[in-house]
Structure 1
Amino acid sequence: METVFSAGAIVAAYLIGSLSFAVIVSRLMGLNDPRTYGSGNPGATNVLRSGSKKAAILTLLLDALKGYVPVALVGWFGGRLGLGDGTLALVGLAAFLGHLWPVFFHFKGGKGVATAAGVLFGFEPWLGLATLATWAIIAFFFRYSSLASIVSAVFAPFYQMLIWGGGPVAGVVALMGLLLVWRHAANIQKLLAGTESKLGQKAHAHPPAVHPPKHRHHHRAK
């Protein structure tokens, strides 16, 4: 029975994680699909480039909540169902993977920063706060969301292992960190090239492909 509850919790967490709120919020607020402008990433940072701070904040909160809620529910009620740290860790991972590869959006999701933050808060609030503080410091001084996310992803596993120890949760935090860095590969290249967009910078929609005009043959009148 415990196995059934565990499997059900993991599947439910993945389905919740698959809700791409960047796309959903943008549609409800009459904004362009975030996958069609800027970085093309369905996440809060790219939604901010639309010029709507309200939509970006709402996307950020909902993306974080879909990582936090499944983990918190297992933490609160899992004990009476026999669900341990292993299930707790896998539920957090499932919600995160749902954001990266959402079943409802053709498995094309975002980078997972906000959802990962929500998962960390679900695991341990102080871990979430420490990671969030790291993100805020880097973002404040350098103005690059991607750089702040990469640094936070690297530091989070060390916070977990040094303060709260190892175990399944530490393994999942490390795996999420690796996936976050991997998902930011294009951003790393832009950072090195100096072409990465800064926080709050607006971006235009991807321009349509321009086809060269066809040459018309003019016949001289005889």
Structure 2
Amino acid sequence: MESGPELAGLALLGLVALLGYLLGSVPFGIVITRMLGLGDLRQIGSGNIGATNVLRTGNKAAALATLLLDSGKGAIAVLVARALMDETAAQVAGAAAFIGHLYPIWLGFRGGKGVATFLGTLIALAWPVGFGACAVWLVTALISRISSLSALVAATAAVPLSWFLGHTDLMLLAAALAALIFWRHRSNIARLANGTEPRIGKKG
């Protein structure tokens, strides 16, 4: 039978996960585009709520703000959970924020693809891994000019980067989140295969 302190710890972990999920659920792309009078983001381009689709409105500042805020959701969840509890809680909170972005309660559980939140979470959990994954994304984007391909390559790289940079405790989480990124990008993967995936900055 679990003791009082153990139950309190589980309750706090559950609260951390819930708060991380609710934070991750905030659809900053939609909020920003509506505030700026750019229309309903879900009716623009791919319909995705992330920064790449915001860029298709032609407003680079809005896209940058969305990128930073979506990244920040994961990072803030991690940092708060770490301050309240420990590294396990930090991973739980980061994963919850990521799930919140993919399946936000405010949008009927139809959210984004999680790349920015994934990278922000990694940076907060282990900055060498996070910045390494960002570098992989950037290099792939500069070469291919395709956001989805860059995301898939960066997500794949996160697991070996975790091992190579000495953060083996992060490998399981990185693999799980990367698998979800691949799942959310399955339509992009089909377009990549047939050569119809749009390039970065193309207006929808």
TM-score normalized by structure 1? 0.86
Amino acid at match of 1:190: R
Shift of 1:28: 0.7
* Percent of aligned positions that are identical: 38
Q: Give the deviation of 1:86 after TM superposition.
A: 2.2
- 2:143 is aligned to 141
The residue number in structure 2 matching 1:40 is 47
Q: How far did 1:89 drift?
A: 1.2
Which string of whole-angstrom CA distances, capped at 9 and with x for unpartnered residues, describes residues 7-43 of structure 1? 1111000000000111111111111111112111111
Q: Bigger shift: 130-139 or 36-45? A: 36-45
Q: Please say if residues 96 and 116 of structure 1, whose CA atoms lie closer than 8 Å, have aligned partners that are also in contact.
A: yes
Say whether residues 1:199 and 2:203 are aligned partners.
Answer: no
Partner residue in 1 for 2:104: 102
Give the whole-Å Cα distance in 2 for the aligned partners of 1:7 and 1:54: 36
The normalised TM-score by structure 2 is 0.93
Mark the structure with the bigger radius of gyration.
1
2:33 corresponds in structure 1 to 26
Deviations 1:56-113 (A, max 9, x none): 11111110001100101222x23xxxx3332221111000000000011110100000
Residues 192-211 of structure 1: per-residue CA shift (max 9 Å, x gap): 111111011111xxxxxxxx
In 2, Cα distance between equivalents of 1:197 and 1:112: 18
1 or 2, which has the higher helix percentage? Answer: 2
The Cα shift of 1:171 comes to 1.4
Say whether residues 1:173 and 2:174 are aligned partners: yes
For 2:165, which of 148, 157, 163 is the aligned residue?
163
Gaps of 5+ in 2: 1-7
Alignment length (residue pairs): 197
Check the 8 A contact 2:41/2:49 in 1, yes or no. yes
Match of 1:218 in 2: none
Corresponding residue for residue 123 of structure 2: 121
- Please list every run of 5 or more consecutive structure 1 residues that lacks an aligned counterpart in the other structure: 204-222
